Structure 1
Amino acid sequence: MAALRDIARDFAAEIRDGIGWTIVYRTGRSWNALTIWSDIWNGEWETDDLNDAIGILKADPDAVIVNGYYCGHFGEGMTIDEIAAGIRWHYEGGHNHLADYCEVTQGRDTLEEGRKAAEAAGLPFCERLADGGDDELSPYVYDGSMALADHEKMQQAREAFDRLADVLREIAAKLAEAMKPAINAVLSAFKKLWKVSVRAIGVPPKWLHLAAHAKKARTRKKYRNRIRRYVFEALAAEGGGGP
């Protein structure tokens, strides 16, 4: 059974430096904690961190999320006992609850709506949000995030879909072959125009590199979104922010 002082000691560095955010929660009489590294101050949650937060909120609706830089009752030079007292102040006083973050509650509500819709349609349902693309869950691996019966349904649906997809893929391949020269010309022109445009607007070269070459799919996605927002904001500013 973990005591609050043990949590304060084990997570002191993360809480003091103010870079990560530490979720502190209870299961029974035990205290637990998890540090996440999303930029939640700006509402930018990584999907894995959001899934962890939703799971913790289910286990403890009173869970708190603290940061030594942004949250009161903390500081760089705090002792272990002072950190423990700060956590208790937040937890027992109802300050900085995990449930206060709309991204967490919206994610939880989205999963619940998806569960109800899946049950009504007799479809399989997974308990975790997914980014899509490289971060999608494999339908062939049972990882405990959905019921075994749902996993079997998903495999059956996937096999039926694969059979249909094979036929459609064959048709699409013939169409694509016929249209390839025109498509390649358009894509090439668009890529060149995009590169010239974002550089002219002032997008940092580092963002462009990470958007194209970062090892993790979620990192590539994050910087593509940043570039898109940057471009839209620049265009809005150029146009006066109105239509």
Structure 2
Amino acid sequence: MNWRARLLALDGMMPALDDTGRLAWGTLADAPDDAELVFLGLDEGKACFAAVPPHGDSRPRMANPALWSLMAALSPEDLALYGGARSLVDWHARHRFCAACGGDTRIAKGGWQRDCPAEQGGCEAQHFPRTDPVTIMLVEHGGKLMLGRGLGWPEGRFSALAGFVEPGESIEEAVAREVLEESGVRVRDVSYVASQPWPFPSQLMIGCHSHADDDVLTIDETEMAEVRWFTRAEVQAALAGEEGAAFTAPPPHAIAHHLLHWWIGA
């Protein structure tokens, strides 16, 4: 055992924090004897690992307010590290059996692969951590911005519309389809703005901007609680956290927050 190696402290899938509010670290001796270890990388020459928990967590982010609060308190560096570790160990926890033959799989290549070993009667399939592409888009018309509140979200919390990219779709097609499905609005001139990995459980958020042909809304009530148009002044007030703002903006660690700032400055 390398005394220089570090183990990310996790309570299930929740990050543990030290007295300074940073991610807490232990040693490999803190890992359960039967735990699978995932190699996260090197930090100042020290190998960093995370232990795969007994169970994964594919619940939506809003289902765990405590985690939401913890993530908001992490520094950008710690948030990126925790997000990557969370996605990886969650995938391992939920993929212990082969999708091809149902046999037991085992960790390989430092945790960046799982194998179905022939010596255990397996089919020799190799499995790799997945990343699901999701478009998250600003829709603009007449100087106003379309934002939505998903089902189960707190009252007043609005964000950019978002949805998974389906097989065979381009990013531009996914943006147009999702906006049409959720709001009934047709969009054009889709452009890329920025991206962000999002560990719930393992998405890549692809931030885009688009223009709507009109502002008439037909809301899909099976997905959205509200969809509204907001003026530039209303968006600015929400981002500033002003009392009486028209809506509550996404938190600073979410790409939607940065997309709103980008739009204000565009």
Under a length normalisation based on structure 2, what TM-score does the superposition of the two structures give? 0.25
Larger radius of gyration, structure 1 or 2?
Answer: 1
- Higher RCO (CA 8 Å, separation ≥ 6 residues): 2
Question: By percentage of residues, which structure has more helix?
Answer: 1
